[in-house]
Amino acid sequence: MRKISDTIARLAALQARHAVHPADLGASDHLRTLGDFGTNPGGLGAKFYIPNDLSKGAALVVVLHGCTQNAGGYNHHSGWSQLADEAGFALLFPEQQRSNNPNLCFNWFQPGDTKRGSGEALSIRQMIETIVVTRGLDRRRIFITGLSAGGAMAAAMLATYPEVFAGGALIAGLPYGSAMTIPEAFDRMRGHGGRSEQDLQRALRGASDHQGPWPRISIWHGAADHTVSPSNAEAIAGQWRGVHRLEKEPTRREVAGSHAKQVWRNGSGEALIEINMIAGMGHGTPLGSGLGAPGPYMLDVGVASTREIAQFWGIAATEVDASRKSRQQVPASQRPLRRSPAPSMQNARPKPPQPTVIHQFPRHTELGQPRVKKVIENALRAAGLMR
Contacts of 117 (CB under 8 A, 6+ apart): none
User: How many separate domains does the chain show?
Assistant: 1
Q: For residue 243, what are the domain limits?
A: 25-326+341-382
Tell me the sheet residues that pair with 47.
Answer: 33, 93
The phi-psi region of residue 40 (left if phi > 0; otherwise alpha if psi is between -120 and 50; otherwise beta) is left
User: pLDDT tens, 156-173?
Assistant: 999 999 999 999 999 999
Q: Say what the pLDDT of residue 379 is.
A: 73
225-237 burial code (b ≥16 CB/10 A, e <16): bebbbbbbbbbbb
User: pLDDT tens, 24-46?
Assistant: 454 446 899 999 899 999 999 99
> What is the dihedral angle through the alpha carbons of 38, 41, 44, 47, rounded to the nearest 10 degrees?
-10
In a domain, 7, yes or no: no
In a domain, 15, yes or no: no
Give the number of other CB atoms < 10 A from CB of residue 53. Answer: 7
In a domain, 236, yes or no: yes
In a domain, 20, yes or no: no
In a domain, 270, yes or no: yes
Which residues in the chain show pLDDT less than 70? 1-29, 318-372, 375
Q: Are 292 and 78 contacting, i.e. CB atoms less than 8 angstroms apart?
A: yes
- Predicted TM-score (pTM) of this structure: 0.82
Give the number of other CB atoms < 10 A from CB of residue 86. Answer: 18
Q: What is the spatial distance between Cα 140 and Cα 58, in angstroms, rounded to a whole number?
A: 10
User: pLDDT tens, 292-307?
Assistant: 999 999 999 999 999 9
Residue 207, classed as helix, strand or coil, is coil
In a domain, 5, yes or no: no
Q: Are 132 and 358 contacting, i.e. CB atoms less than 8 angstroms apart?
A: no
Q: What is the spatial distance between Cα 152 and Cα 154, in angstroms, rounded to a whole number?
A: 5
- Whether 178 is a known active-site residue: answer no
Q: What is the spatial distance between Cα 339 and Cα 352, in angstroms, rounded to a whole number?
A: 38
φ and ψ at 345, to 5 degrees? -65, 135
Task: Please give the sequence-ordered ranges of beta strands (E in DSSP) within 38-161, or none if there are none.
Answer: 45-49, 60-64, 90-95, 142-147
Enclosing H/E stretch for 165: none
In a domain, 365, yes or no: yes
Chain centre to alpha carbon of residue 243:
19
Q: Say what the pLDDT of residue 319 is.
A: 57
CATH number of residue 275's parent domain: 3.40.50.1820
In a domain, 298, yes or no: yes
Residue 8, classed as helix, strand or coil, is helix
From 81, 148, 218, 229, the catalytic residue: 148
